[in-house]
Amino acid sequence: MMDNAIAEYRELVNNYTRQIDKAVISQLPSYEDHGREVILVDDSMLDQAVHDLLKERYLGFDTESKPTFLKGQKSNGISIIQISSPIKCYIFQMRNISNAEVLGKIVGHQKIIKIGVGLKDDLKQLRNDYQFHPTAFVDLGTIFRAFGRKNSIGSKQLVALVLGKKLRKSKSATTSNWSAEKLSPLQINYASDDAFSSVDVYLKLREVFQPFTTQLDKHVSELLDL
């Protein structure tokens, strides 16, 4: 039985260290067809949104900033912060929030795990813009590097590998004005799906590796909260 478990574990790890071709991903079912609630947050609902999110153990996390197009151009800072539970995403438009300090309760909470992809710059910006102290953040790329994956991994590849779905990543949304007073439906969907997909991938990994806690590296076990 032990040999079988080891073989199954190695097969799982090998699966997650491979790269899925773009053509294969294009044929997968769409990730976006989940129908979950997305809420734009301003001052009037800030406290309620934070209150709801503080009840959760695992949250998808991402930020978006107004893009810069010139070399050496200074960043415009964070425009939105999107945070999702497995069932609901809150998009905090920072231009409409006068007391950003309230969000620090989530960002700095030691027992709420915040999950994202490529979080280094996001966390740096949170420190610089709001003097937050990010705690209990898990970058999904760190988990996959621990599995032995050599190349970097983005959200599209993660969703394909772990969930078997195709995540739409629109360049027009990526380079859009995230500081706009009114976000477009394309921006809202793009932002919320980044947060939703991070928590979905994380929870699926926890489910898949739950039977293999004895085989898992201690560091990976800690990252997956197993």
Average pLDDT (182-204) is 95
- 73: pLDDT strictly greater than 80: no
- The pLDDT mean for the chain works out to 91
C-alpha separations of 63 from 28, 117, 126, 208 in Å: 26, 10, 9, 28
| CA distance linking residue 6 with residue 152, whole number of Å | 26
| Nearest CA among 5, 68, 41, 59 for reference residue 213 | 5
Share of the chain above pLDDT 70, in %: 95
Element (H, E) at 56: none
Q: What pLDDT score was predicted for residue 70?
A: 46
Check residue 74 and give its pLDDT. 57
Query: Above 80 in pLDDT, residue 112?
Result: yes
208 is in which domain, residue-wise?
2-223
* Tens digits of residue pLDDT in 126-184: 999 999 999 999 999 999 999 988 888 999 999 999 999 999 887 778 888 898 989 99
Task: Give pTM, 2 decimals.
Answer: 0.93
| CATH code, domain with 184 | 3.30.420.10
**What's the pLDDT band for 69 if we cut at 50, 70, 90?**
very low
Are 83 and 53 contacting, i.e. CB atoms less than 8 angstroms apart? yes
pLDDT band at 32 (very low <50, low <70, confident <90, very high): confident
Output the pLDDT for position 166.
95
Whole-number pLDDT of residue 2 = 54
Please state the domain count of the chain. Answer: 1
